[in-house]
Structure formats: C-alpha cells, structure tokens
C-alpha cells in the first residue's frame, strides 16, 4: 500500500487519510479499543476500578516497537495476539494485579475489527468533508454554466447540443447519491464488534450485553444485535460505497480527459508549475489529476471483488477470508480519498473554453440540430418520413460540404412544412435546451 511519504503517495493518496491507516495508527486504534474495554468493564463492575489507570496508561502505541510486533504477527497470525501480550507485560511492569484484567473476555477479532471500524470512521469523516466541498463546487458550476452550450457526445461522436451546466449537474447528482450511501454507513455498517471466543461472550457470564453496551458507549459506536465475526456483509457494503464513489469520480475524470483532448480542447485541468508536463514533449499539457482518478477507478473494482469473495466465511471464525480484508479495505478507502482529492482540485480550478464549445456547436454544417428538425417535421409528416428526410439532407450536406439548413431549405418536402423563419429558429442557440434548466434546478434543490 502507498503512504503519503512514498514515491506514489502524493499522486494516489490523501495525506490525512493515509495517516489514518499507517501501522502506528492501526496499533493505536486497537489499543483505543482495549482502553475502552477496560473503562466499560470498570463501569459494569466486571473488573476492579484500580485496574483502569494502569491499563489506560499502557494503551499508547509508542510503547510498542512496530518491527517487533510485525515479526510476532507473522508467527501469531494476527497483530492482536502479540499486541495484547505486549500490553499485558507493559501493565504488569507498573501493576501486576491490573495486568490480570487486560483484554478481559475479548477475542483478537473483537480488537482488530473494532479498531478498524474506528479508523474507517475517521476516514469517512475526512471523505465526507472533501466530498461536500466538491459538491459545492459542482453546484456552482452547474448554475453558472447553464447557458454554456457544447456538443453532447454519444459513442464519442457529436450527437445533439447540451449545456455544460447540465453535464456538471449530472456529475453532482451521482455524487449526491454517494453522500447518502456514506452517511448510511455510520448507523448500519460502522458498528461495534464484541463477541469473545465464539460470539457468545460466555466468559463474561451474564454481563456480556452490559459490557457490550458500555463498550459501544465508550467508543461511540452502535451495538449490533449480535457479534458479526463471520457475517461480513457490512464490510462488503462499506467497500461498495467507497467503490461507487471512486467509480463516479472516475467518470467525471474521464469526461474531463476527453474534453481536454487536443482536437476537442473545450475544458482543461488547472495548470501550474511542474503540473502535467511531458518528459519528451515540451508542448504537452497532460490531465494528471484526472489520470490518477481514472487509475483509482480501475484498481478499486478488483479490490472490491476480494471483499465479496471473502464473504462465505466458515462457522464462527474465518480461515483466511477475514484476513484478506485487512489490507484490502484500507486500500479501497485510501484510493477513493486520493481520487477525491485530485478531482476536487481539478473541478475547483477547471478552465473552460466557451468560444471553442460554441464553435463546435456551429461546426459540421449544423448537423447537431438534425434531431430538432426531424422532431418538428414529424408532427406533420410522421416520425419515419421525417427521419428519412432529414437523414437524406444530412448525407447531402456532408457530401456537398454545405450547411444542413441550406440543404433543407432547398428541399420541397421541407419547404412545404417549414417556412424559412421557422427553419432558421431550429438552428438558433435556444432551440436545443430542452429540460436542461429544469434538470439542473432539480439537482441543485437536493443540495
């Protein structure tokens, strides 16, 4: 996995989110769960109150060399086992009696899963904040550019006119759906894991639920109906929410990359010193932010498939499937956060060449307005006849390098139905807006 200090970390990551998933952060999150467990059990009268301070004092990641923990993890099979052993030894140095109560009633997976949930919750907060900024920028763009026309493109070919405001509103609409999915994770997915050896909490006898509720309160995490050691739909759902956001960001980036093509040149990423250059071609202005977002959208689906493949876990504890999640989930979240950072910079500094957009609307002899003419003629000639007539006119316009309007004016079948002024109006700037403003307003109203 990348980190913010690696060669590729700045390209594919978000330093704040990357910092949440370092080895030290993972260890601290597990220790935060251990400290909260001790607080909850003291509150419930399960362990002596005198044990709390020594345990809390020892729950600092700096006490534990990461290299040694890593080596021990390779032998133990998970990082909680050596961490609990080291934590117990650390507590014992100061209070041998308190050391008896470290990790009381819990199992390794309780600590690892709940610690991971704490990390993911912090990452979610960062992503939601960045996403809100991006959505606000797109809302401003959708409103400001509602009168900016450009060719709509289907199958990468010019089709009919659209507005850039509508294009931005489409991006925003999809991101708003991601906002809803991410928000839902807080109550439905980011929940406590606490079940003991096999989910019964039998080691706590009748106090299991009391401790679970107190632990959930201490960590500010919802307590599910029962432990979910091998029920991993929540993790797959979380990965899916971040993957969907990453895919939407990739779609936005793809649109901008295509608009930046030399032959199109209608929109551009913000420029800057050292940004988007080529090692071989001095004239190049490469869409580096969008490329990073597209790379993330290309990588994340494969990672997500790992989470779905890991769902059929055996009985009460997985035999490798759960372990496959440990690096996969953070990588999905980090790639998503990195993509969001890149697209945020691109959108907030996006440069539009409006005259170029208008020139493309006027290019190709007005062929982009063929649909408007066909729909109008269909009212009297019928859809099939009107379509065939305009199709023939379009072929003739291309073959003779003439404007479609001029060809249509000279066709008796058209002249009989459309006076010159009405035909001229079909090629005017406002003839192609359709519901664009309405759609924009509906999206903005949801913000």
| Model confidence at 432: pLDDT above 80 | no
pLDDT-derived band at 282, boundaries 50, 70, 90: very low
Predicted local confidence at residue 378, as pLDDT = 86
Instruction: For the chain, give the percent of residues with pLDDT over 70.
Output: 96
Nearest to 343 by CA among 180, 183, 178, 184: 178
| Model confidence at 274: pLDDT above 60 | no
Instruction: For the chain, give the percent of residues with pLDDT over 90.
Output: 77
From the list 6, 203, 271, 278, the catalytic residue is 278
Predicted local confidence at residue 57, as pLDDT = 98
Whole-number Å distance between alpha carbons of 339 and 178: 14
Helix axes 383-400, 370-381, angle to 10 degrees: 140
Question: CB-based contacts of 204: which residues, under 8 Å, 6+ apart?
Answer: 46, 104, 105, 196, 211
User: For the segment 146-166, what is each residue's pLDDT rounded down to a tens digit?
Assistant: 999 999 999 999 888 999 999
Its pTM surpasses 0.95: no
| Model confidence at 279: pLDDT above 50 | no
Predicted local confidence at residue 5, as pLDDT = 64
| Model confidence at 20: pLDDT above 50 | yes
Whole-number Å distance between alpha carbons of 193 and 274: 47
pLDDT-derived band at 224, boundaries 50, 70, 90: very high
Q: Which helix (H) or strand (E) holds 93?
A: helix 80-94
Lowest mean pLDDT across 184-188, 211-215, 319-323, 388-392: 388-392
- The tally of CA atoms less than 13 A away on the side-chain side of residue 407 is 21
| Beta-bridge partners for 352 | 267
The length of the chain, given as a count of residues: 447
Whole-number Å distance between alpha carbons of 52 and 46: 11
What's the angle, vertex CA 325, arms to CA 321 and CA 328, rounded to 5? 135
Tokens 């007005």 sit at which residue?
Answer: 366
Q: Which helix (H) or strand (E) holds 335?
A: helix 325-348
Q: What is the chain's mean pLDDT, rounded? A: 93
Q: Six-digit token pair at 219?
A: 């960590």
pLDDT-derived band at 397, boundaries 50, 70, 90: confident
From the list 181, 186, 207, 317, the catalytic residue is 317
pLDDT-derived band at 278, boundaries 50, 70, 90: very low
| Model confidence at 3: pLDDT above 90 | no
Predicted local confidence at residue 425, as pLDDT = 85
User: For the segment 248-265, what is each residue's pLDDT rounded down to a tens digit?
Assistant: 999 999 999 999 999 999
Predicted local confidence at residue 364, as pLDDT = 78
| Beta-bridge partners for 157 | 154
Whole-number Å distance between alpha carbons of 245 and 251: 10
| Model confidence at 430: pLDDT above 90 | no
317 tagged catalytic: yes
Distance of CA 229 to the CA centre of its chain: 26
Lowest mean pLDDT across 62-76, 218-232, 282-296, 345-359: 282-296
């Amino acid at each position: 996995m990348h980190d913010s200090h690696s060669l590729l970390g700045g390209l594919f990551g978000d330093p704040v989110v990357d910092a949440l998933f370092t080895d030290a952060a993972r260890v601290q999150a597990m220790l935060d769960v251990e400290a909260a467990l001790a607080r909850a059990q003291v509150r419930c009268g399960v362990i002596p109150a005198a044990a709390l301070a020594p345990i809390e004092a020892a729950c600092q990641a700096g006490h534990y060399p990461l290299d040694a923990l890593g080596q021990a993890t390779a032998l133990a099979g998970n990082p909680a086992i050596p961490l609990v052993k080291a934590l117990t030894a650390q507590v014992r140095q100061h209070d041998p009696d308190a050391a008896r109560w470290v990790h009381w009633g819990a199992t390794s997976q309780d600590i690892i899963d709940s610690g991971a949930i704490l990390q993911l919750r912090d990452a979610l907060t960062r992503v939601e904040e960045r996403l809100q900024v991006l959505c606000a920028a797109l809302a401003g763009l959708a409103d400001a550019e509602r009168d900016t026309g450009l060719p709509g493109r289907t199958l990468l070919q010019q089709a009919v006119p659209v507005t850039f405001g509508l294009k931005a509103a489409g991006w925003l609409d999809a991101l708003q759906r991601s906002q809803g999915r991410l928000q839902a994770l807080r109550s439905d997915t980011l929940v406590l894991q606490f079940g003991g050896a096999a989910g019964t909490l039998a080691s706590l006898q009748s106090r299991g639920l009391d401790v679970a509720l107190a632990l959930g309160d201490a960590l500010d995490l919802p307590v599910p109906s029962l432990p979910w050691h091998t029920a991993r739909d929540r993790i797959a759902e979380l990965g899916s929410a971040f993957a969907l956001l990453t895919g939407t960001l990739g779609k936005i980036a793809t649109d901008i990359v295509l608009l930046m093509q030399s032959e199109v040149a209608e929109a551009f990423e913000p420029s800057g010193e050292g940004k988007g250059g080529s090692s071989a071609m001095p004239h190049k202005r490469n869409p580096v932010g969008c490329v990073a977002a597209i790379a993330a959208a290309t990588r994340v689906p494969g990672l997500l498939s790992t989470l779905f493949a890991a769902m059929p876990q055996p009985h009460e504890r997985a035999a490798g499937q759960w372990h496959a999640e440990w690096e996969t989930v953070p990588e999905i979240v980090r790639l998503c956060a990195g993509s969001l950072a890149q697209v945020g910079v691109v959108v907030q500094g996006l440069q539009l060449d409006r005259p170029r957009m208008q020139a493309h609307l006027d290019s190709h002899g007005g062929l982009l307005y063929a649909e408007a003419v066909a729909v109008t003629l269909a009212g009297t000639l019928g859809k099939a006849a009107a379509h065939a007539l305009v199709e023939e006119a379009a072929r003739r316009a291309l073959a003779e390098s003439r404007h479609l309007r001029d060809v249509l004016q000279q066709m008796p079948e058209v002249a009989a139905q459309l006076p010159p002024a009405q035909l001229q109006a079909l090629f005017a700037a406002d003839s192609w807006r359709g519901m664009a403003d309405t759609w924009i307003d509906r999206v903005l109203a949801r913000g």
